[in-house]
Amino acid sequence: MSDAAGAGAAEAISRARELLARALRVVVFTGAGVSAESGVPTFRGAGGLWKSFKPEDLATPEAFGRDPRLVWEWYAWRRDLVARCRPNAAHLALARWALSRPGVTLVSQNVDDLHERAAREVAGDAEAARRAGPVRLHGSLFHDQCTRCAWRGPARAVDASTVAALPHCPECGGLARPDVVWFGEMLPVRTVEAAFAAAAEAEACLVVGTTGAVYPAAALVHTARAAGARVVVVDPGPTEYDEVADVRIYGPAGDAVPAILA
């Protein structure tokens, strides 16, 4: 980084810090990039999951209907991968910040559990961690739902033999599926309402590690902005929000987020 770029970055960090400190209500919107430094692959860009796998084979209700075993194998692999990862400095800084001041709503598109684990690490108790969020727009890798009845719950461990036999609902014995939102599916209504209500009231919106390409989730930032929120975007690459950002910080979340929220 040149001196000029370094000075520009330092100025952007300090503007972001001031803007966020002044706001009484803040909505934080995270995507796959916040977990990249923990070792969780993103979806788009170099090394992204959608470079090696096709969403229509693995992340649609039709794909699950056609070949549930293939879909379960992919989710079992992702669960195992995420279970080995740890929250990084960005998750921890966000958890510390959300727990230490009122008016912060954390909304995530991620299905990993790294925001929760960071909150538990910082708060030391599960109830406080639950209050720190996040509001999950795309579901959870570690929860299942039944395809036949209304059961939803924490996922039981899946290994090669459970995947071979396919996981089943503990209540009715129907086929279980990961409790995530697939392409072509509706987002959970109450969750969307909570997230967009927070965006509509926010005075500032901190966006971390998302291309902002997947709707309706991506509209959260535009909702916040239309309601008057100032927008801070942290991402090392280009995003759909670059033109609307009041402060744009090009860099990895693990460096920039702790610096902004310090």
Binding test (CB under 6 A) with ligand OAD, winner from 33, 87, 133, 178: 33
Q: Which is nearer to ligand OAD, 133 or 252 (CB)?
A: 252
Tell me how far, at minimum, the Cβ of 128 lies from ligand OAD, in Å.
26
86 binds ligand OAD (CB under 6 A): no
Q: Which is nearer to ligand OAD, 45 or 103 (CB)?
A: 45
Of 106, 114, 110, the C-alpha closest to 195 is 106
96 binds ligand OAD (CB under 6 A): no
Binding test (CB under 6 A) with ligand OAD, winner from 8, 45, 153, 174: 45
239 binds ligand OAD (CB under 6 A): yes
CA-CA distances (angstroms) from residue 80 to 6, 25, 52, 76, 133? 38, 36, 18, 6, 23
Q: Which is nearer to ligand OAD, 132 or 208 (CB)?
A: 208
**At 200, which amino acid appears?**
A
Selected range binding ligand OAD among 38-46, 68-76, 96-104, 224-232, rule: CB under 6 A? 38-46
32 binds ligand OAD (CB under 6 A): yes
DSSP string, 147-199: SSSS-EEEPPP--HHHHHH--B-TTT-PBEEEEEPPTTSPPPHHHHHHHHHHH
φ/ψ of 184, rounded to 5, equals: 90, -5
87 binds ligand OAD (CB under 6 A): no
Which residues in the 48-67 window bind ligand OAD by CB under 6 A? 48, 59
Counting residues that bind ligand OAD (by CB under 6 A) gives: 25
134 binds ligand OAD (CB under 6 A): no
Three-state SS annotation for 18-70: HHHHHCCCEEEEECHHHHHHHCCCCCCCCCCHHHHCCHHHHCCHHHHHHCHHH
91 in catalytic set: no
Distance of alpha carbon 197 from alpha carbon 167, whole angstroms: 35
235 binds ligand OAD (CB under 6 A): yes
Of 242, 221, 215, the C-alpha closest to 27 is 221
| Contact predicate 165/72, CB 8 Å | no
Q: Any idea which residues carry the catalytic annotation?
A: 138
Contact residues toward ligand OAD (CB under 6 A) are: 31-33, 36-37, 42-45, 48, 59, 109, 138, 181, 209-211, 213-214, 235-237, 239, 252-253
